[in-house]
Structure 1
């Protein structure tokens, strides 16, 4: 009887111990799906696993002689306001501007590094149809994050202070993009006396880069802005 009781006690202790280990292991491997935003793709590039397509306006693969290429994705716009609550942008003279922000994603699928050089001048571009209307382009220095895709202005912050400081200055971007890597950056736009549905896109022609901007129904235009060199 005493031997049977000892065996029963030992069995209960062992079962209790197994249950605790199982619960502890489950707790360590449990992951909240909302905490996972990025995944490793087959080609080694880090890509969002959420639906990036809903934010994309253009998705273009520029093929090279080797059969591999450069992909450039341009987003749909966000904007109208530089801050929540209806805040518009006005320059030091009191002129009011329509604001929009975009992002561009460049993916290097080649076997050599890419030297990305983009520059927007401090001058404005007269590309729209209304008289005395013009466009200004900027390259904000904020680091883009996929976590901010659904955020106000794609997470771009400090818009007023950035535009005030760079309103009449050129803004530039220089970046080396290694093989199987990508770079994502913001493009901010101000349009004066022109309105409508904004669309913007970085376009590659051979090694030259152009930025195309339209405001339907107030016209469109394309401006040279830099190079991608291999």
Structure 2
């Protein structure tokens, strides 16, 4: 986990503040969804595995050709490690990812009749699939209120006070505790996109943050004043 470059909130939000924060994000971006291109559970699973230490945009560029050649586990196995690697060599960790995509495809065929399981333990037993990847698949494809904590959500949880924690699991538990249950599932996308485009790692754009008021980031007023906006 990379170190955050700016200070975190000094305390955690209350549940009421958390609801206000999430509601503000929801109203500003009600139709938020994954920026990865996928057509089914298998393509989503592979895309999320490939997205580790890579941007969604870069992943979408390579999966267009990959999924055209290998739209299902059987076709992916037939393509083989070198065939997979040839499609994805422009993204980070491509060699290890090619091995994992081949292995997880073999596992899906051997253990699940080629179908992506709707079960956390079964998902996390697949090659290259950790808790975050499993949470994305459970959330997006199977409708579970799973919270996948990536670097953006980890940063937001700490910086804003929404869910402070030293580990991704601690932040995940804090989010589940504070975000209202009826808002938990879509919050995954609201938070990722907010962290990606507004509450950036080194240069948060507080002047255009729709959740400025409930946010507990200690430097938010200074950043606003530096931009020339009224606090």
Query: Which bracket does the TM-score occupy, shorter chain normalised?
Result: under 0.3
TM-score if structure 1 supplies the norm length?
A: 0.22
TM-score if structure 2 supplies the norm length?
A: 0.22
The structure, 1 or 2, with the larger RCO (C-alpha pairs under 8 Å, 6+ apart) is 2
Instruction: Tell which structure's C-alpha radius of gyration is larger.
Output: 1
